[in-house]
Structure 1
Amino acid sequence: MARNKYPEETKKKILEVARELFYIKGYDNTTIQDIVDNLGGLTKGVIYHHFKSKQDILEKVMESLGVSDEQSNWYDNWQGETGLEKIKLQILKSFQNFERYAILYSAEALLESPRLIGDVYLSTLNESANYLKVYIDEGIKDGSISTQYSKELSEFISLMMNMWLGLNIISFSRQELEERLYFLKNLLESINIPLIDDSIISATLRLHDYIQKRK
């Protein structure tokens, strides 16, 4: 087989095709062969040269959907005037990304995997919380966030958004989700962290409605 002169272009093409198929057919209903059939002559060997598995492809698709054109990583260049505003806008932006969540929740079997849940938990504590802490520290410095516990707060918010809410949105009824959101809003406000507002609650409920209609 001739050596691929443009490996990054090939990898990008695989992710584009997989992203479209995962969104239209769902992750569980898409096979590696489906991806191959839409790659214009490429083989399974090429896919496995770039990715370890279908799950690996999903993870890379999810990463790409979490990054805007202005960012090299999801945690870079958050928009806003203060640390608190940057975090709020990033949460809002996340829950407005319907395509990303539609693909995630189409991987129903994967989401029930204890190993995946454990991986998300560790990633949340070891990565997401550390990146969030940068913006919490910025908020402390500019006065928009008042706390002596930036590390603990970053871990708490990350776990609540990624696991207590994020992985479970489709398992709740609309009323249950709304109650969770207002509980979290009131809890954070009780410690002077007005992070969850009505725009975030509305966006999350719209996301829930959208995902339920696709099922």
Structure 2
Amino acid sequence: MAKKYTADEVIEMILDVSSSLFVSKGYEKTSIQDIVKGLDGLSRGAIYHHFESKQAIINGVVRRFVPTEEELDNIAAAKGLSGLEKIQKLLIDAMFNQKRSETLGSSYELLNDAIFFSLYITTMTEILSPYIEMFIEEGHVDGSVSAPFPRQIAEVIIMLISTWFINALYPNTAETFWEKLSACQYVLKQCGVDVLSKEVLQTIMSNVESKVKEYEDKSN
């Protein structure tokens, strides 16, 4: 008898299996039947109950890369944070959220796929840009941000942080990674939104070093 799964478990299973197949076969070469074969006795009907198409599935996979609405709303409602600090908190969470990293696993390889990458950029912009724009406007009020053109600067921040550091597009060494961070810091500071302050750079450095050590420990 097939194991009983909750609706959330079924959705996560479908997204996990689909992510793995999209990495190994590519999105276009993966069929719904391929996904069905990877599920634990679940039927094609179970997939269509939650996702109306393969496009809806890849949209769900992409959405895993972005902070949830609950996470974003919690940052927006945080007391005692300036507009700039909210942007910084959003970016650090987007980069180093432990639960999201564990869920994504090898899915980061999907960023090498042109279709997936296009959806990733569109989704990041559609979801994060309004929040960053709002935080920039809050920063105008509290004095933490002086950037003009809030909407456009929000998009610039997303483009720099979520695109320029993707290794598949712009290969990095440890040295060039930190050089890029310094360049981003300079550009954003000139724009009037000092997102990558010394404190934030130190947080990023600590998190990266921790990730490297974790990877090395697993490799040994």
TM-score by length of 2: 0.69
The residue aligned with 2:178 is 178
| Cα separation, 1, equivalents of 2:60 and 2:125 | 23
Deviation for aligned residue 1:82: 0.7
| Cα separation, 2, equivalents of 1:169 and 1:212 | 22
- Contact 1:124–1:155 (CA under 8 A) maintained in structure 2: no
Q: Pick from 23, 28, 37: which aligns with 2:23?
A: 28
Change (3 A) 1:57 1:124: closer
| Cα separation, 1, equivalents of 2:101 and 2:168 | 11
- Contact 2:164–2:170 (CA under 8 A) maintained in structure 1: no
The residue aligned with 1:148 is 148
Aligned-partner SS, 1:76: helix
1:130 aligns with 2:130: yes
What is the root-mean-square deviation in Å for CA atoms of aligned residues?
3.7
Q: Pick from 15, 27, 37: which aligns with 2:11?
A: 15
Query: Could you list the per-position Cα deviations for residues 83-120 of structure 1 after superposition, in whole angstroms to 9, with x for gaps in the alignment?
Result: 11111111112222245346557236632232333333
Change (3 A) 1:62 1:126: closer
Change (3 A) 1:108 1:136: closer
Aligned-partner SS, 1:111: helix
- Contact 2:112–2:168 (CA under 8 A) maintained in structure 1: no
Deviation for aligned residue 1:22: 8.4
- Contact 1:83–1:136 (CA under 8 A) maintained in structure 2: yes
Q: Pick from 55, 60, 72: which aligns with 2:58?
A: 55
Identity, % of aligned positions = 20
Gaps of 5+ in 2: 26-33
| Cα separation, 1, equivalents of 2:147 and 2:215 | 37
1:198 aligns with 2:198: no
1:14 maps to a residue whose letter is V
